[in-house]
Copies of this chain bind each other. A is one copy, B any other.
Amino acid sequence: MPKYGAFISQMITLPKHLSLYTNSIPLNSMAPTPLTKAKQAKQASLHLANLTRTQKDKALLAIADALLQQKQVILSANKKDLRAAAVLVKKGSLKSSFYKRLALDEYKIQEMVAGLKSLVALPDPVGRTLSSLELDKGLELYQVSCPLGVVCFPFEARPELVIQGSSLCLKSGNAVLLKGGSEAAHTNNALYHLVKNVTENAKVPSGWIQLLETREELHAVFGMDAYVDLLVPRGSNAFVKYVKTHTSIPVLGHTDGICQIYIDRAADQKKAIAISIDAKCQYPAVCNSVENLLVHKDIAKRFLPLLYTELAKRGVEFRGCKRTQEIIPVKPATEKDWDTEYNDLILSIKVVDDIAEAIAFTNQHGSGHSDAIVTEDEKTAHLFLDGVDSSCVFWNASTRFSDGYRFGMGAEVGVSTFKTHARGPVGLEGLVIYKYLVVGAGHVVSTYTGKGAKPFTHRRLDKIWER
């Protein structure tokens, strides 16, 4: 299979002990190897691509029903994981925040069910005609959206991502390889089997969902770019970075979320304060909260004391450049501060000379995620919007709007700071690509080449491809 030929050479970049996965001998006679899992997913994906919306939505609703019916099974599996985790928390080898993310309850199950129902309400991302063109009379070209094929969803901690990852893939017609944290093994297994059984009963092709059980299995998959079309890691920045640097499979995600707000000299100070509070305090632990606040030198003396009062009473700790230190009582910011994602109630402040310095700072220290300018000056705003190379750039609005749901996508696959395929908040569109379908009546290329070549018409059609 030449299509998969790259696989062997890909393995070169993997640790040596993983090379045993290059052949398909199972590790033990019972358990399928990661290669077998990937091949089964690939095989299933060919059929999955042609499920109708009705079939896919029916299967999604069946998962929702099963979650409610088998709630007790899921919660008792979760209890096993929680008991083991509690021991680790006591020992100090697991953070209590991790324990919280691990825990499922009635409410979280309701949330999963709601998520499934909102996916059902979304239109099918597959089979949409993206363009149509007459190449010549009777020779028509259609660009039609289709699934990627196989998507791998590695995630940490939160077991509800079994449901989220698999349902996003099912709706978009992709097969899925899931890999959860080992701490949630019982819960992940229970949810995986629930989804697998329910969907296969609903005639989704067998093998479309696979569970990778160990970190070694995931590593082996990192080398299988012949079978796996996209990796969507969910978890800490360090985790996403780890994935990104260990695979040549395309990755959708973001490693850092270092966001800036620039308060221009022509800023409306009321808007500036409101946006700063929102972007720093509304939910500081997330990637689209602000880390560096830049302020124009002409308004720093008026603005910074106001900002200080409002944020300090909300518990924010400050770092600042020299000029900031002269205005408000803040710790000095080190060079490292400008490059740090605090994910916490900490804000670094820098006074800048002009819009050019604000843009340059943002492009240098930001992570290309979300940045905002506050100004009433349209020209300055456009300089910032054009000059900042980030996936989302805001004018007089909070960076916290960077989110698939707020952007009206219905479902969020992730936020990407990479620059190919999909960028910024990514909806189901991030899990599809397209194929070209050409319908002729015996047309051949030789008609259109060489002496006396017939010209193409290349006339735009507004036709929809009907399956």
- Listed in ascending order, the chain A residues whose CB lies under 8 Å from chain B are 1-3, 5-6, 9-10, 12-13, 45-46, 49-50, 133, 135, 139, 141, 148-149, 225, 229-230, 241, 244-245, 247-248, 250, 255-256, 258, 268, 270-271, 274-275, 277-279, 282-283, 339-341, 363-368, 382, 385-387, 389-398, 400-402, 406-408, 418-421, 423-425, 433-446, 448-449, 456, 458, 467
Are A408 and B248 in contact, CB atoms less than 8 angstroms apart?
no
Are B445 and A401 in contact, CB atoms less than 8 angstroms apart?
yes
Are B448 and A406 in contact, CB atoms less than 8 angstroms apart?
yes
Pick from B366, B407, B444: contact of A141, CB below 8 A: B407
Are B420 and A436 in contact, CB atoms less than 8 angstroms apart?
no
The CA-CA distance from A3 to B244 in the complex, in Å, is 13
Pick from B50, B135, B277, B363: contact of A386, CB below 8 A: B50
Are A438 and B2 in contact, CB atoms less than 8 angstroms apart?
no
The CA-CA distance from A402 to B49 in the complex, in Å, is 22
Pick from B135, B407, B445: contact of A407, CB below 8 A: B135
Pick from B339, B386, B393: contact of A2, CB below 8 A: B339
Are A366 and B406 in contact, CB atoms less than 8 angstroms apart?
no
A441-B271 CB under 8 A given contacts A2-B256, A365-B1, A408-B135: yes
Q: Could you list 27 A-B pairs, sorted by A, with CB under 8 Å?
A: A2-B256, A3-B367, A13-B245, A46-B363, A46-B389, A50-B387, A141-B408, A149-B389, A229-B420, A230-B419, A247-B248, A248-B248, A274-B444, A275-B442, A282-B444, A282-B446, A382-B467, A386-B467, A390-B435, A392-B436, A394-B437, A394-B438, A396-B441, A401-B443, A421-B421, A423-B433, A423-B434
Are A424 and B406 in contact, CB atoms less than 8 angstroms apart?
no
Chain B residues near A274 (CB, 8 Å)?
Answer: 442, 444
Known pairs A244-B248, A250-B421, A392-B435; list 8 more (Cβ under 8 Å). Answer: A9-B245, A271-B442, A385-B437, A389-B435, A394-B440, A395-B440, A397-B438, A401-B438
The CA-CA distance from A398 to B442 in the complex, in Å, is 8
Chain B residues near A279 (CB, 8 Å)?
Answer: 444
Are A420 and B438 in contact, CB atoms less than 8 angstroms apart?
no
- 4 A-B pairs with the lowest CB-CB distances in the bound complex, closest first: A397-B440, A271-B442, A278-B444, A400-B445
Are A398 and B443 in contact, CB atoms less than 8 angstroms apart?
yes
Name A's interface SS: mixed
Are B1 and A398 in contact, CB atoms less than 8 angstroms apart?
no
Pick from B244, B270, B445: contact of A398, CB below 8 A: B445
Are B148 and A419 in contact, CB atoms less than 8 angstroms apart?
yes
- Shortest CB-to-CB span from A121 to chain B, Å, is 13
Are B438 and A393 in contact, CB atoms less than 8 angstroms apart?
yes
The CA-CA distance from A44 to B436 in the complex, in Å, is 35
User: Which residue of chain B has its CB nearest to the CB of A242?
Assistant: B9
- Shortest CB-to-CB span from A44 to chain B, Å, is 12
User: Which residue of chain B has its CB nearest to the CB of A223?
Assistant: B245
Chain B residues near A387 (CB, 8 Å)?
Answer: 46, 50
Chain B residues near A418 (CB, 8 Å)?
Answer: 250
The CA-CA distance from A324 to B128 in the complex, in Å, is 40
User: Which residue of chain B has its CB nearest to the CB of A435?
Assistant: B391
User: Which residue of chain B has its CB nearest to the CB of A396?
Assistant: B440
Are A406 and B245 in contact, CB atoms less than 8 angstroms apart?
no
Chain B residues near A444 (CB, 8 Å)?
Answer: 274-275, 277-279, 282, 397-398, 400
A135-B3 CB under 8 A given contacts A248-B247, A393-B436: no
- Shortest CB-to-CB span from A263 to chain B, Å, is 12
Chain B residues near A393 (CB, 8 Å)?
Answer: 435-438
A245-B408 CB under 8 A given contacts A275-B442, A445-B282: no
- Shortest CB-to-CB span from A443 to chain B, Å, is 4
User: Which residue of chain B has its CB nearest to the CB of A441?
Assistant: B396
The CA-CA distance from A393 to B143 in the complex, in Å, is 11
The CA-CA distance from A250 to B247 in the complex, in Å, is 11
Chain B residues near A250 (CB, 8 Å)?
Answer: 250, 418, 420-421
